[in-house]
Protein backbone atom coordinates (compact mmCIF):
# COMPACT_ATOMS: atom_id res chain seq x y z
CA UNK A 1 0.00 0.00 0.00
CA UNK A 2 1.40 3.45 -0.82
CA UNK A 3 2.35 5.87 1.92
CA UNK A 4 -0.70 7.82 3.03
CA UNK A 5 -1.00 11.33 4.37
CA UNK A 6 -2.92 12.34 7.48
CA UNK A 7 -5.82 14.71 7.76
CA UNK A 8 -5.82 17.46 10.36
CA UNK A 9 -6.30 16.64 14.03
CA UNK A 10 -9.70 16.81 15.67
CA UNK A 11 -10.25 20.09 17.50
CA UNK A 12 -8.19 20.16 20.68
CA UNK A 13 -6.67 16.71 20.14
CA UNK A 14 -3.57 15.31 18.53
CA UNK A 15 -5.51 12.60 16.68
CA UNK A 16 -5.24 12.51 12.90
CA UNK A 17 -6.65 9.99 10.44
CA UNK A 18 -6.12 8.60 6.95
CA UNK A 19 -9.70 7.58 6.23
CA UNK A 20 -10.08 9.56 3.02
CA UNK A 21 -6.93 8.07 1.51
CA UNK A 22 -7.88 4.57 2.65
CA UNK A 23 -11.31 4.96 1.03
CA UNK A 24 -9.64 6.03 -2.21
CA UNK A 25 -7.37 2.96 -2.17
CA UNK A 26 -10.37 0.72 -1.38
CA UNK A 27 -11.82 1.04 -4.89
CA UNK A 28 -12.86 4.62 -4.17
CA UNK A 29 -15.30 3.62 -1.42
CA UNK A 30 -17.81 6.39 -0.80
CA UNK A 31 -18.44 8.00 2.57
CA UNK A 32 -21.94 6.51 2.44
CA UNK A 33 -20.59 2.99 1.85
CA UNK A 34 -18.19 3.32 4.78
CA UNK A 35 -20.96 4.73 6.99
CA UNK A 36 -23.22 1.77 6.22
CA UNK A 37 -20.46 -0.73 6.96
CA UNK A 38 -19.67 0.80 10.36
CA UNK A 39 -23.24 1.67 11.36
CA UNK A 40 -23.14 5.48 11.42
CA UNK A 41 -24.42 8.32 9.26
CA UNK A 42 -22.50 9.70 6.29
CA UNK A 43 -22.28 12.99 8.20
CA UNK A 44 -20.42 11.24 11.01
CA UNK A 45 -17.88 9.88 8.53
CA UNK A 46 -17.47 13.38 7.06
CA UNK A 47 -16.89 14.85 10.54
CA UNK A 48 -14.33 12.18 11.42
CA UNK A 49 -12.47 12.63 8.11
CA UNK A 50 -12.34 16.41 8.57
CA UNK A 51 -11.06 16.08 12.13
CA UNK A 52 -14.16 17.70 13.61
CA UNK A 53 -15.11 14.59 15.59
CA UNK A 54 -13.03 11.92 17.32
CA UNK A 55 -14.62 8.48 17.05
CA UNK A 56 -15.08 6.19 20.01
CA UNK A 57 -12.52 3.44 20.38
CA UNK A 58 -15.11 0.90 19.23
CA UNK A 59 -15.87 2.93 16.10
CA UNK A 60 -12.16 3.38 15.39
CA UNK A 61 -11.71 -0.41 15.48
CA UNK A 62 -14.68 -0.89 13.15
CA UNK A 63 -13.15 1.55 10.66
CA UNK A 64 -9.79 -0.24 10.82
CA UNK A 65 -11.48 -3.61 10.22
CA UNK A 66 -13.28 -2.32 7.13
CA UNK A 67 -9.91 -1.47 5.62
CA UNK A 68 -8.28 -4.65 6.99
CA UNK A 69 -5.49 -2.60 8.49
CA UNK A 70 -4.16 -1.95 12.00
CA UNK A 71 -5.86 0.85 13.88
CA UNK A 72 -2.60 2.82 14.02
CA UNK A 73 -2.54 2.89 10.22
CA UNK A 74 -5.92 4.62 10.22
CA UNK A 75 -5.38 6.88 13.24
CA UNK A 76 -2.29 8.44 14.74
CA UNK A 77 -1.67 10.55 17.81
CA UNK A 78 0.77 13.40 18.32
CA UNK A 79 0.69 14.50 21.94
CA UNK A 80 2.52 17.73 21.06
CA UNK A 81 -0.31 18.77 18.73
CA UNK A 82 -2.81 18.81 21.59
CA UNK A 83 -0.71 20.98 23.91
CA UNK A 84 -1.41 24.72 23.96
CA UNK A 85 1.37 26.85 22.50
Q: Would you write out the chain's pLDDT as a tens digit for each of its 85 residues?
A: 445 555 655 556 789 999 999 999 999 999 999 999 999 999 999 999 999 999 999 999 999 999 999 999 999 998 887 566 5
The CA-based dihedral angle spanning residues 23, 7, 62, 27, taken in that order and rounded to the nearest 10 degrees: 10
Q: Are strands 15-17 and 75-77 parallel, antiparallel or unpaired?
A: antiparallel
Indicate the pTM of the whole model: 0.81
Between CA 76 and CA 33, with CA 27 as vertex, the angle to 5 degrees is 75
Q: Which CATH code for domain 15-68?
A: 1.10.260.40
Output the CA–CA distances (angstroms, integers) from residue 21 to 44, 46, 69, in the order listed: 17, 13, 13
Structural domain boundaries of the chain?
A: 15-68
Amino acid sequence: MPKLSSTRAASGTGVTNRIRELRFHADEMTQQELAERIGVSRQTVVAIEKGKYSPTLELAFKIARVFETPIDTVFSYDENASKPS
